[in-house]
Structure 1
């Protein structure tokens, strides 16, 4: 039987080979490639991080989704200033192509 470090190394090599072989294959969301999906996920993470660091935006109340560089904001803001700041932070994030602001203001 193989010892644990060799088995771990073999599993890691298999994972890298699988990712390399599938990187050009289409996945979900309108046949988006794995690379594009990873890029969109990174954009979403960067936008959410900006929300978490900003005192006027509630990162817990505003959702962020990204598809092909377009960020869609959803959820609820306390006021128009929070809604506008969320959009501004998203637009200023490197790599964002466009922002769709569907944030509603709580009555």
Structure 2
């Protein structure tokens, strides 16, 4: 059985190794930097907030994902007007570089 100081040192070493391995200048998704990942998350949040505030767009039926400033919309809209409004709201969001509108209109 390990003594308390050895166990504590082992846990500390494991923690340092984990932090060292997970922190770096790039995170997942195509070597995106941590800063741009945070910016993309903020853009996604702002677009979703606009959807929630707009009476014509269903924030629950349309998903929003952002990568390097490009917003991708997916899901289902009840009308073509809802689809167009979702795209318009996304394009008007400060910081959005481009919008991919993959929303399908329900028949």
Q: TM-score, normalised by structure 2?
A: 0.78
In structure 1, C-alpha distance between the alignment counterparts of 2:52 and 2:45, rounded to whole Å: 10
Give 2:26's aligned residue: 26
Larger Rg: 2
1:25 Cα offset (Å)? 1.2
Q: Could you list the per-position Cα deviations for residues 80-107 of structure 1 after superposition, in whole angstroms to 9, with x for gaps in the alignment? A: 0000000000000000000000000001
* 1:1-107 equivalent positions in 2, closer than 5 A: 22=23, 25-107=25-107
SS at match of 1:56: coil
Matched residue pairs, number?
86
Q: Could you list the per-position Cα deviations for residues 28-63 of structure 1 after superposition, in whole angstroms to 9, with x for gaps in the alignment? A: 100001101000000000000000000000000000
Q: TM-score, normalised by structure 1?
A: 0.78
**RMSD value, Cα:** 1.0
In structure 2, C-alpha distance between the alignment counterparts of 1:54 and 1:30, rounded to whole Å: 33
Unaligned 5+ runs, structure 2: 1-18
In structure 2, C-alpha distance between the alignment counterparts of 1:94 and 1:28, rounded to whole Å: 24
Unaligned 5+ runs, structure 1: 1-17
